[in-house]
Amino acid sequence: MAKNKYVGEFEFNASKKMLYPYFSTASGLAQWFADDVNINNEDKVYTFIWDGDETKAKLTSNRTNHHVRFDVVDDEDDDNNFFEFKIEMNELTQSVYVRITDYSDMDDEEASELWESLIHDLKEIVGG
């Protein structure tokens, strides 16, 4: 199946420091992103659970209060999926944006609907 790269930007009324744990910790991700999230601290592999299905992803890059990247662990796929959260601030307007990059099998419309729904849930939690 062909891979697509979705990039979405979402404005938040919250600080980078407040948002970062929602993208980088198992408990933060479990509040809005997946039904449950477990982490193996030894190899930094996160297990995301949606409707009883598990997806494993390795934390491959992070910088506190700036970005987090997960590469999906899939032995059957040479061109692995990934998703990345970047928290950026517009210095001129002092607005905080989250840029999401999702490289997966979903088409743009499907990815857009999914991320808009997830971000809506996150905004309700952080009040942003």
| Model pLDDT for residues 73-120, shown as the tens digit of each residue | 976 766 789 999 999 998 888 899 999 999 999 999 999 999 999 999
Mean pLDDT of the chain: 92
Q: Is the pLDDT of residue 6 over 70?
A: yes
- The one-character DSSP state at 27 is H
Q: At what angle do helices 108-126 and 16-24 cross, to 10 degrees?
A: 120
Both tokens assigned to 62 = 């992070």
Task: Identify the CA nearest to 111 among candidates 81, 72, 77.
Answer: 81
Q: Are 4 and 107 in contact (CB under 8 A)?
A: yes
